Amino acid sequence: MRSRIFKVLKEKAHDNKKIIMGFTIIAIMVFIALFAPLIAPHNPESIDLTNRVAAPTQEYPLGTDHLGRCQMSMLVFGLRISLVIAATILFVRVILGATLGLIAGYFGGSLDQLISRIIDFELVFPDMVLALVLVGTLGPGLPNLMLALSIVGWSKYARIIRSTVISVKEKGFIESARALGVSETYIMQRHILPNSITPLIPVMTLGLGGLLLSVSGLSFIGLGVEPGTPELGMMIKSGFEVFPSHPQLVLVPSLMIIACVTGFTLLGDGLSDLFDPRKSSSFIASCL
Amino acid sequence: MWMLITRRILAAILTISFLSLFVFSFLYLVPGDPAERILQARMNGELPSSRETVGVLKHDMGLDVPSYVLYLKWTEGVLHGDLGYSYITRRPAATILYESLQATAELVFVSISIVVIFGLSLGMLAAWKEDSRIDNLLSYLAILGVSIPSYVIAFVSILVFAVGLHILPVAGRSGMQSMLMPAVSLSIGGLAMLMRMTRYDMLAEMRQDYVLAAKAKGLSEARIFIKHIFRNSLPPLITYIGLELGGLFSGAVIIENVFAWPGIGRLLVDSVQSGDVPMVQACVLLIGVIFICINIIVDILYTYIDPRIKPEGIL
């Protein structure tokens, strides 16, 4: 399966500008995030009140914020933390959605009915409002933020997996496997799941971009990470306190978020063109 | 048609009951005795200091009962418009909610108008001029538009129009001028998305056989484009506009906080931060009901525009 995906990618990716641009941006971001401790000139959390909102110097390439923290280091570590948070939440969502979608699609019947109703209910509510309410009830902070965003937003993955599973399970090779006496769990793990994963890839890519927006948005309104954490949304929030006299403190982390999300959107968009060029637009709209 | 509407409304009642259970369960998610919370809300936010008085009051008000009875009582109150009292301001939650709803509705109405007018027309332009320079430019602008957080647009517009040029107020709600920046910041994302979708759907529709037939019949390009292609690509777009209307309510949560706009989003965040449970319940219930109503309207419109479609679902 994996080799097939790569083959398609190799054949077609070189003439898809969106994929190349998106991939390049993301590669740079991931590189920065991975080597953050080597790139950052200072400790992102060390406060120096004698050197507040300083202009860029050789020592502080992007200047300092209103607490004298090195803006460059915060940006680099902020990117790392934001990406890790978003990727973790995405992982949980996909696992949750894929499991429920797989069960619903494979077994059908009343189990499918029940799960589909839950999916419909979840789809109606915007992730942001549900997450906001959950964070509000559980209290602000990173663990609660991650929990809240993980238990919402899985329904689109469940829906995609469910519909692909339904189409895959009617294929001849599944029938043959069952005739050979292979167990249901084995068929699901070995045959159904790998064949249903491909349509998820563009959705996941777009979803990661959307998550970066949600995480930073929640941090920005004060319901995300603890104050002082070098996370992009939190940097914007603390920059907002001295806005608009020092706009760079808000604009630089904002640019970082825009670059990241644009990267994921370009890549996701390109990939969905690649996998299924005739895909309906509403499908893509539901991904972000 | 009437069958469909009745079925939709019945289904909506089911969903709303689901929602009310969810909202009611907030009482159990926060620390403390739920019955005492209800009591506290009825008593204008203050509990009597002695435990015995609390016990007696609970008994008098019929709050010392199992949770399902409590739920039914709470629902009864909600149906009579009694959403409890805010712990913080001690005013009826329904009143506060009504005031905020007006502010948010104004903002959302202006935003959705911007989204629909510009989204549809730019999308049509891109489809009409497929693969031209303007189409390419629009498609990259759309990707950027989807990727920019709304609050960043808000910051930049504050910097330019309020701080730099002094032509618009920085924040607050005072007439049309103060509405401009929040509404534009809120609508960019949805606008970009609608534009992309309009383009996609119209291009897909253009490849249909009937377009060729219409051309062969000698109809003018413009007439085919507007009367046939555009009309036939409307149903999915209407669904999206409905979804986006809901999306604007959640987007408003952030934008209202940037511009100090006194709407539901700001109320929700403030209530969440101050642990004002009745207010949070009221906001979530209202947003939920709005969503469900939008969904019903979209579904009915959908069948009206394209009678071939018979939607299935519960919401």
Average pLDDT over residues B77-94: 78
pLDDT at residue B315 in the model: 38
How many contacts (CB atoms, under 8 Å) link A and B? 139
A118 touches chain B (CB under 8 A): no
Tens of pLDDT, residue by residue over A96-149, are 998 999 888 888 888 888 888 788 777 766 777 778 777 776 777 888 888 888
Q: What is the CA radius of gyration of chain A?
A: 22
| Nearest CB to A124 within list B29, B284, B291 | B291
Task: For residue B313, name the pLDDT band (cuts at 50, 70, 90).
Answer: very low
Cis preceding linkage at A244, omega within 30: yes
Work out the mean pLDDT of chain B and round it to a whole number: 81
Looking at beta carbons, which residues of chain A come within 8 Å of B143? 18, 262, 265-266, 269
Q: Is pLDDT of B118 > 90?
A: yes
Rounded to whole angstroms, the Cα distance separating B154 from A217 reads: 13
CB atoms < 10 A from the CB of B63, how many?
Answer: 21
Q: Is pLDDT of B256 > 80?
A: yes
Task: For residue A280, name the pLDDT band (cuts at 50, 70, 90).
Answer: very low
A121–B269: do the CB atoms touch at under 8 Å?
A: no
pLDDT at residue B122 in the model: 93
pLDDT at residue A83 in the model: 92
pLDDT at residue B57 in the model: 72
Q: Is pLDDT of A31 > 90?
A: yes
Residues 185-214 of A with CB under 8 A from B: 209, 213
pLDDT at residue B113 in the model: 94
Looking at beta carbons, which residues of chain A come within 8 Å of B146? 261, 265, 288
| C-alpha distances out from residue B272 to A23, A118, A149, B65, Å | 39, 25, 16, 27
B159 touches chain A (CB under 8 A): yes
Cis preceding linkage at B262, omega within 30: no
Q: Is pLDDT of B311 > 60?
A: no
Residues 227-266 of A with CB under 8 A from B: 236, 240, 243-244, 247, 250-251, 254, 257-258, 261-262, 264-266
Q: Would you give the distance in Å from CA B155 to the centre of its chain?
A: 23
ipTM: 0.76
Closest CA to B254 of B114, B153, B156: B153
Q: Tell me the CB-side half-sphere exposure of residue B288, using CA atoms within 13 A.
A: 22
The encoded tokens of residue B300 equal: 């009915």
pLDDT at residue A258 in the model: 92
Q: What is the CA radius of gyration of chain B?
A: 24
Best mean pLDDT range from A227-231, B24-28, B99-103: B99-103
pLDDT at residue B314 in the model: 37
Average pLDDT over residues B228-247: 82
The encoded tokens of residue A77 equal: 């570590």
Task: For residue B309, name the pLDDT band (cuts at 50, 70, 90).
Answer: low
Rounded to whole angstroms, the Cα distance separating A268 from A270 reads: 5
The encoded tokens of residue A203 equal: 């959705």
Residue percentage of chain A with pLDDT more than 70: 86
pLDDT at residue A259 in the model: 92
Tell me if B107 sits within 8 A of B296, measured CB to CB.
no
B18 touches chain A (CB under 8 A): yes
Q: Is pLDDT of A286 > 80?
A: no
Looking at beta carbons, which residues of chain B come within 8 Å of A261? 146-149
CA quadruple B60, B61, B62, B66: dihedral sign? negative
The encoded tokens of residue A227 equal: 């104050």
More confident residue, A207 or A244: A207
Rounded to whole angstroms, the Cα distance separating B188 from B122 reads: 13
Which domains, from first to last, does chain B contain?
A: 93-313 (1.10.3720.10)
Question: The tokens 């689901």 sit on which residue?
Answer: B18
pLDDT at residue A240 in the model: 81
Tens of pLDDT, residue by residue over B30-48, are 666 667 766 766 666 566 6
**Which amino acid is residue A134, in one-letter code?**
L
Which residues lie below 8 Å from residue B234, measured CB to CB, with a gap of 6+? B305, B306
CB atoms < 10 A from the CB of B210, how many?
Answer: 12
Tens of pLDDT, residue by residue over A144-201, are 888 888 888 888 888 888 888 888 877 788 888 888 888 888 888 787 877 777 778 8
Helix (H, G, I), strand (E, B) or coil at A286: coil
Best mean pLDDT range from A21-25, A149-153, B155-159, B302-306: A21-25
| Nearest CB to A137 within list B29, B196, B257 | B29
Q: Is pLDDT of A57 > 60?
A: yes
Rounded to whole angstroms, the Cα distance separating B18 from B12 reads: 10
